[in-house]
Structure 1
Amino acid sequence: MSEIHTPRLLLRRWLDDDLVPLSEIHADPEVMRWIGDGSTRSLEETAEDIEAWEEEWDEEGFGIFAVELLGSGELAGAVGLYLADAPSAIAGEVAIGWRLGRAFWGQGYASEAAHGALEFALQDRGLDRVVAVCRTGDTASTNVLGKLDMRPEGTAQDPVHGNDLRVFGIDLTEFQG
């Protein structure tokens, strides 16, 4: 299954028409503030992101979904799973992440989409565990992780950008689908 329907959202694979709306999301400094070094991403970099996400789908059987509003068909952002390579505390584990356009903040979309992706990981893909990292101070992401019942497991440092990170995890036995 590569589509997930939640009450208000469709999580699906990427389409060519998604490039421009996602690049507009990536061009917003507030959206990108907590991602990587906080830099915005160009249209070309966004195209590379989508290509890499689609390759991960093909190689791993999971990846980052496009998040579409069911009512309007608007692209709200991205959510899904990736094989973490850093920090070392989670290297080799499957992690969950998301980013939504600012117009879609504060409406519960991130939690709804992330819950759908987490359920996909643990129930459809049969993973035993999913992890997440967020930068220290990113209270919005920390709140979403709490709604997913992901538990704090410690701290780490981003080896590329030097940011302090909080590590979270959830096992299949702890997941309330």
Structure 2
Amino acid sequence: METKIHIATPRLLLREWEEEDVAPFTRMNADPRVMEYFPALLSPDETRQLYDRIRHEFAECGFGMFAVQRAAEGDFIGFVGLHRIGFDADFTPGVEVGWRLSPAVWGRGYATEAAAACLVHAREALGLERVYAFTALPNVRSQRVMRKIGMERVGEFDHPSLPPAHPLARHVLYEKRLAASE
């Protein structure tokens, strides 16, 4: 069975997940560099649960976090996509754009390229009027991607899934208002 490509950019394919993605996804989620701004590394079981939740969100909503591969090399490098925000805040309910890529490909503009394509998809295919992005306050790399894709910093909040004293509790919030399709 052929994998469905949802979005193609000049260098990337944003596609459906495959069982073969689980092993590199597990390694990525166990890498302290990748998970630096998350509360903990993910075990193989936790990664499998995340994989299942991602696939379920696609089935339920028609969107989610795409598996990303480099078009020329064909290798899985992480995920980028859209996700229903799963907690209560003054900006929810809403949809976020997010990414998690392997450190081997950091600094090449892949997150920016894929996330920008997802914003176009959010507007043109899904008809969304706005999309959010957020990260722990010290995560300046992700904030740089947010700015590069035209998002505006609109505030800060304490992530409700973390205790207030946790060093990653304070998050920055970005927003992108999407113009209507013409």
TM range (shorter): over 0.9
Q: Which TM-score applies when normalising by structure 2?
A: 0.90
Distance across 1 between alignment mates of 2:155 and 2:125: 28
Distance across 2 between alignment mates of 1:86 and 1:145: 21
Partner of 2:67: 66
Q: Offset at 1:86?
A: 2.5
Q: Give, as a single letter, the amino acid of the residue that structure 1 aligns with 2:16.
A: R
Q: Which TM-score applies when normalising by structure 1?
A: 0.93
Q: Offset at 1:71?
A: 1.0
SS across alignment from 1:32: coil
Percent identical among aligned pairs is 35
2:30 to 13, 27, 41: 27
Conservation of the 8 A alpha-carbon contact between 2:98 and 2:133: yes
Q: Offset at 1:134?
A: 1.2
Partner of 2:96: 95
| RMSD between aligned residues | 1.6
Partner of 1:84: 85
Partner of 1:51: 52
Give the unaligned 5+ runs of structure 1: none
Partner of 2:110: 109
Query: CA offsets, 1:63-114, max 9 Å, x none?
Result: 0000101111111101111110225133210111110010010111110111
**Structure 1 stretches (4+) deviating beyond 3 angstroms?**
none
Question: Is the alpha carbon distance of 1:87 and 1:70 closer, same or farther for their aligned partners in structure 2, counting shifts above 3 Å?
Answer: same
Please identify the structure whose Cα radius of gyration is greater: 2
Q: Give, as a single letter, the amino acid of the residue that structure 2 aligns with 1:124.
A: A
Partner of 1:136: 137
Give the unaligned 5+ runs of structure 2: none
Q: How many residues align?
A: 173
Partner of 1:41: 42
Q: Give, as a single letter, the amino acid of the residue that structure 2 aligns with 1:15.
A: E
Q: Give, as a single letter, the amino acid of the residue that structure 2 aligns with 1:20.
A: A
Question: Is the alpha carbon distance of 1:108 and 1:157 closer, same or farther for their aligned partners in structure 2, counting shifts above 3 Å?
Answer: same
* Higher share in helix: 1
Partner of 2:16: 13
Conservation of the 8 A alpha-carbon contact between 1:63 and 1:82: yes
